[in-house]
Amino acid sequence: MQAYLIRRLLQIPIGIILLSIIVFTLTRVLPGDAGEARCGAAGNFSQECFEVARRELGLDKPKVEQYWIWLSDFVSGNPGYSSSLRADISTELWGRLSNTLQLGAMSMIMAIIIGVPIGVLSAIRAGKPEDYLARFIAILGLSVPNFWIATIVIILPATWWGTNLAPEWIKLADNPLGHFRVLALPAAIAALAAGAYIARIVRSSMLEMLHSDHVRTARAKGLFERAVVMRHVLRNSMLTLFTILGLQFSGVLAGNVIMEQIFSIPGMGAFLLKGISARDFNIVLSVSTIFAIWFMVITLVVDLMYSWVDPRIRY
């Protein structure tokens, strides 16, 4: 177990460096850079302007040196200067990361609350109307894009009742209740697809368990159906669910880029879009890398939890 853990932990920095090199290379291959974006925003389109801005932003240095400077800054906890913010990225980054994680956590909690009961119901009532209804809802949740639901949820109440469900952003420190109220709707919308996916996974996993030998034995022993389902079916289905939850949490973080944009939430996703549109490569690199770190850590945690959920698994 210890060796496995060390091996996995060592893989993380290697993965991060590889990914950041790829993102760095891609951002440099694209036409346009932060220097041009800065000059363009100022209405200046001269080559002289581009050159001055590039020099100020260090974009005239060799690419390897640029990457090394960024990596050193990132490792030191201050991922460099943002040309669009005209300040260090760290001034915004950590606050935004916190908002994104809160939104992601809320989405996941809601997705579990929605998905697990629907999946369980669908599995134990397989082939019955409740199952069809649950599956219909799950497919609907998966097939309708989040951004469309968000747009409809915002526009229709405003049109019909003059109610704005996308209020202005409230900081946690200013008003905790208001802060989470602002996050609740985008989290719920983001949870729909994730919940639908969880419901489908729980259903298929449980159906497999329901037909397994140990469940038949449990029933033969005369256990109540509730005990069979909760103790022998659901718990054994958790292995699959954990895998999915880990991936979903990472997916929700990335997917919330759109939610953050629509609901004006100052999170990592909105930050990433801002970085892309302003050709602010330090933002793009930093946010992508943090997402990658997050993904790797979550995957590791999920892997480690397997052995907790299923003691037969050994590393």
The answer to whether 88 touches 95, Cβ cutoff 8 Å, is no
CB of 234 to other proteins, least distance (A): 39
The answer to whether 91 touches 291, Cβ cutoff 8 Å, is no
CB of 268 to other proteins, least distance (A): 15
Its sign, for the CA torsion 56, 58, 59, 60, is positive
Which residue number, 160 or 213, has a Cβ lying nearer to other proteins? 160
Which residue number, 56 or 310, has a Cβ lying nearer to other proteins? 56
Which residue number, 223 or 273, has a Cβ lying nearer to other proteins? 273
* Angle separating helix axes 63-75 and 2-29, nearest 10 degrees: 140
CB of 85 to other proteins, least distance (A): 9
The residues binding other proteins (CB under 8 A) are 30-34, 36-50, 52-53, 56, 86, 150-151, 154-155, 157-159, 162-171, 261-264, 266, 270, 273-274, 277-279
CB of 152 to other proteins, least distance (A): 9
The CA distance from 224 to 56, in Å, is 72
Which residue number, 58 or 266, has a Cβ lying nearer to other proteins? 266
Which residue number, 201 or 283, has a Cβ lying nearer to other proteins? 283
CB of 270 to other proteins, least distance (A): 8
3-state secondary structure 164-231: CCCCCCCCCCCCHHHHHHHHHHHHHHHHHHHHHHHHHHHHHHHHHHHCCHHHHHHHHCCCCHHHHHHH
Which residue number, 15 or 266, has a Cβ lying nearer to other proteins? 266
Its sign, for the CA torsion 313, 8, 269, 254, is negative
Which residue number, 96 or 135, has a Cβ lying nearer to other proteins? 96
| CA angle 213–215–219, rounded 5-degree value | 115
The CA distance from 197 to 192, in Å, is 9
CB of 274 to other proteins, least distance (A): 8
CB of 156 to other proteins, least distance (A): 9
Contacts of 197 by beta carbon, 8 Å cutoff, 6+ apart? 115, 138, 141, 142, 244, 248
Place of tokens 């400077």: 69
CB of 13 to other proteins, least distance (A): 31
Tell me the two tokens of residue 225.
């159906």
Which residue number, 233 or 278, has a Cβ lying nearer to other proteins? 278
DSSP string, 18-76: HHHHHHHHHHHHSS--HHHHHHHHTT---HHHHHHHHHHTTTTS-HHHHHHHHHHHHHT
